[in-house]
Structure 1
Amino acid sequence: MQKRTLPLAILATAALGLTACAGGGTAGGDTVDGKGQTLNVWIMQGTNPDSEKFFSEVGDDFKKETGATLKVEYVQWADAHDRFVTSIAGGTTPDVAETGTTWTAEFADAGALAPIGDLVDKAGLSKDLVKGLVQSGTYDGEMYGMPWYAGVRSIIYRTDVFDELGLKAPTNWDEIVADVAAIKAAKPDMIPFPVPGDAEFDTYPWLWGAGGEISEKQGDKWVSQIASDKSRAGLQWWTDLALKHNSSSAGATTWKETDVMDNFLQGNVAMAVMGSWTPATIDQKAPDLKGKFAAIPIPGQKDGISPSVLGGSHLSMFETAKNKDLAFKFIELMTTGKYAKQWADETGYFPGQTSLLDEAVKSDDPLVQPFAKQMVDGGASVPVTPKFGAVQAKKTTNAMIQAILSGAKSVDEATTDAAKEMDSIMNGK
């Protein structure tokens, strides 16, 4: 396994000696008069099964504290990037929105976001924020994204199925293949390990695990590494899992991560790459599976851990916000203290405030600790550049995987085409 350097690897120790704000929203010591005003906020849908209840409580406290009404609109992740781009072009952005960590720099580069660094400093929060999330929320020396939460993908598997078949959780890639074969033979109607074609973050662990890379900055240019020998080897293994080892299904060629989740909830999947936020959803939506699944870090090719994308979200303030003090008061309320911890507890994500994160990292919960280990020892980052959001919007990686899974292209052909498209987008051609 290739050892990767990740800014967030410091998160296990960064929290020492820091304390959280007791309730959030008052750390700066200033009050904001928002009486009669409405704060418009966009939040991504599906992250928290109890979002409406959660934001109802937040809205009540926000009104008590500021006099303003909180109006939350929920946006599907799949549609969010295009909707942001359209709203930026039309000047119809919300006051505050959840922005994925790969989008914040892009929207800042477009001039749509308001800098918040001075407000963060004034509130006394600068030293208690996860540095990796601060880094991805900073563009051209200015902070535009307030760390809210972070998550990582590992493997969730059905312990009841593994126990029934006398299998152990895999510790390397060969063991994954062996487990797939055993499950397929004993349970032909079950999908042992889906390979979704429309889920780029499920793809990168295998590319990285083989020693490959997505793209590298060389001088003033980005050069795609997705067609390198090591990257191709990882992608070949991942797609062969479906094409040669029958771990997946033909339908999974177009699956998103939500489709993987839906099929797991229905009992159709034995193991899959899933996020640290998913156990809470499984418990809520499929109570019959409670106690029948567990998590492990994504195994390395031979041993250790394969890196996984450590992503998450910021809360960002838009330049169109009429009352920026009010907007930041909401951001502060959400990302510190009570509500930051409650959001993390309800979703399975890790908080963006280091004093709260320390508690999560030390957890002995079997559905938390493996993700925490993945996050600390096997976390990785996609290229930090405003252009990578455009690569994602183009679905360059997903189109590559789908072409391989459908048989339209070989791994060499698909990666060559993807590398050309990625270079063109990343270098603004």
Structure 2
Amino acid sequence: MNKRMLTVAAFGAVAAFGLTACSSGGSTGAGEATVNPDDNKDVTITAWIMQGTNPDSSAYQEKVAAAFKEKTGATVKFEEIQWADGHDRFVTSIAGGTTPDVAETGTTWTPEFADAGALLELDDYVDSVDGLKKDLVPGLEEAGTYDGKLYGMPWYAGVRSIIYRADIYEELGLSAPKNWDDIIKNGEAIKAAHPEMAAFAVPGNAEFQVYPWVWGAGGEVAVKDGDKWKSELDSEKSVEGLQFYTDLATKYGFSTAGATTWKETDVRDAFTSGTVATMISGSWTPKSLLEKNPELEGKIGAAVIPAKDGGIAGSVLGGSHLSAFNTTKHPELAWELIKIMTTGELASEWASQTGYFPGIKSGLDEALKSTDPLVAPFAEQMVDGGASVPVTPKFGAVQAKQTTNTMIQSILSGQKDVATATKDAAAEMTDILNQK
């Protein structure tokens, strides 16, 4: 069964029904627990929030802390954790019993941490708020559910698409690519006119920028047959997509040798400095770039990632949950913080400020209707091409092993050809996914 398509269908249903905006954050169900602020004046809980691709969230955190203090009487202490080493930080803290009360958990990590027994079940809390269960975005709810129980409360969703220098494209009479041939034509034109720029960045340490080319060629990352997983990174179609993607650097020279070790943040920095003309980046990127670099106003464009012969390639429906860890001494307070951040005004404000999509359906409709040229392509990508990596607790271990990034780096560096690199990566991924 193709688990990737479940998320696409879920988001398509949201768009089709055209849900009207409403707030579930202010309602209180009959069974919802109440918190007495007078009981919590000396209580502090901790929350880890990821950083590395997210915009600056300090002002938002201050608002959340004030709202939390007013509602509960307790104090929340936020700590920012870098995505790059976040997984190791969580694994170490779980092993040592030093986890925070609440944390932002990436959608691929939540099942893994739930499987490790580190997270609290959230179903009863969600059910206690009238209408909240039905308002969760299905794709994010699915990703936060393990063994039939919800461990990750949907907070926000994001998807990656193409971001390009609109001023350069306009100068050269180029349009956003509609297929892979267009990517080559655009790249050749940019390379000839602006040799100082990488026409299309191909980073070696940015896993989620790899999979659209697998899916765009008709391939799969991994499929499940019965109770066994099998990676298909080395299938004919997957190899075709990965050959095209890495050829942008190794054959056509559209990227730069330094990009072999680039993370997503490195690509963004190079784009900002004017040395990259086209990149794959997230729906949260345009707003963040323009806030820090107002001189780029009017110079940025966005477009969906095309499949090989047209249409939209799949792109990982990323995003985050908020989870409560079972080491917390204050589960009710942990839930209050999660609720404040994922529902109501502060949830909407986070989405508006960052360019992410809300984790509840009632807040998603406005974003899906947007005509903003720096929002609409991402909404289209999410609805028509939002995809998921294999839904299994073991995929976090695949990411920790850096299987996909190692594969891409070995190709970009010339250590392996595509056939060898994909065969090795598929074998390693299959082995990890099937470990007990």
Normalising by the residue count of structure 1, what TM-score does the alignment of the two structures yield? 0.97
Unaligned runs of 5+ in 2: none
Q: Does structure 2 retain, via aligned residues, the 8 Å contact 1:265–1:285?
A: no
How far is the alpha carbon of 1:31 from its aligned partner? 2.6
The one of 85, 110, 113 aligned to 1:104: 110
Give, in whole Å, the separation in 1 of the partners of 2:65 and 2:124: 25
Q: Does structure 1 retain, via aligned residues, the 8 Å contact 2:206–2:405?
A: yes
**1:230 corresponds to which residue?**
237
Q: Does 1:21 align with 2:27?
A: no
Over 3 Å counting, the alpha-carbon distance change for 1:79 and 1:30 in structure 2 is: same
Q: Does structure 2 retain, via aligned residues, the 8 Å contact 1:41–1:94?
A: yes
Give, in whole Å, the separation in 1 of the partners of 2:87 and 2:389: 17
The one of 5, 9, 12 aligned to 1:9: 12
The one of 379, 382, 395 aligned to 2:402: 395
| Alignment RMSD (CA, Å) | 1.7
Structure 1 counterpart of 2:391, which letter?
V
SS in 2 for 1:82: helix
Give, in whole Å, the separation in 2 of the partners of 1:61 and 1:423: 46
Give, in whole Å, the separation in 2 of the partners of 1:192 and 1:101: 31
The one of 64, 81, 84 aligned to 2:87: 81
How far is the alpha carbon of 1:169 from its aligned partner? 1.4
Over 3 Å counting, the alpha-carbon distance change for 1:415 and 1:24 in structure 2 is: farther
Q: Does structure 2 retain, via aligned residues, the 8 Å contact 1:239–1:404?
A: yes
**1:301 corresponds to which residue?**
308
Give, in whole Å, the separation in 1 of the partners of 2:30 and 2:292: 37
SS in 1 for 2:308: coil
Q: Please list, as runs of the form range in 1=range in 2, the aligned pairs for 1:6-405 lying within 5 A after superposition.
A: 6=8, 7-13=10-16, 16=19, 19-21=22-24, 23=26, 30-33=33-36, 34-124=40-130, 125-405=132-412
Give, in whole Å, the separation in 2 of the partners of 1:338 and 1:372: 21
Q: Does structure 2 retain, via aligned residues, the 8 Å contact 1:128–1:354?
A: yes
Over 3 Å counting, the alpha-carbon distance change for 1:219 and 1:48 in structure 2 is: closer
How far is the alpha carbon of 1:402 from its aligned partner? 0.4
How far is the alpha carbon of 1:133 from its aligned partner? 0.5
How far is the alpha carbon of 1:13 from its aligned partner? 3.4
How far is the alpha carbon of 1:286 from its aligned partner? 1.3
Unaligned runs of 5+ in 1: none
Post-superposition CA distance 1:254-284 (Å, at most 9, x none) = 1110000000111111111010000111101
How far is the alpha carbon of 1:17 from its aligned partner? 5.6
- Aligned-residue identity in percent: 61
SS in 2 for 1:188: coil
How far is the alpha carbon of 1:364 from its aligned partner? 1.1
Over 3 Å counting, the alpha-carbon distance change for 1:143 and 1:14 in structure 2 is: farther
Give the aligned length.
Answer: 428
390-399 or 27-36: which moved more? 27-36
Structure 1 counterpart of 2:203, which letter?
P
Q: Does structure 1 retain, via aligned residues, the 8 Å contact 2:28–2:128?
A: no
How far is the alpha carbon of 1:421 from its aligned partner? 0.5
Q: Does structure 2 retain, via aligned residues, the 8 Å contact 1:157–1:294?
A: yes
Structure 2 counterpart of 1:344, which letter?
A
Normalising by the residue count of structure 2, what TM-score does the alignment of the two structures yield? 0.95
Q: Does structure 2 retain, via aligned residues, the 8 Å contact 1:24–1:338?
A: no
SS in 2 for 1:386: coil
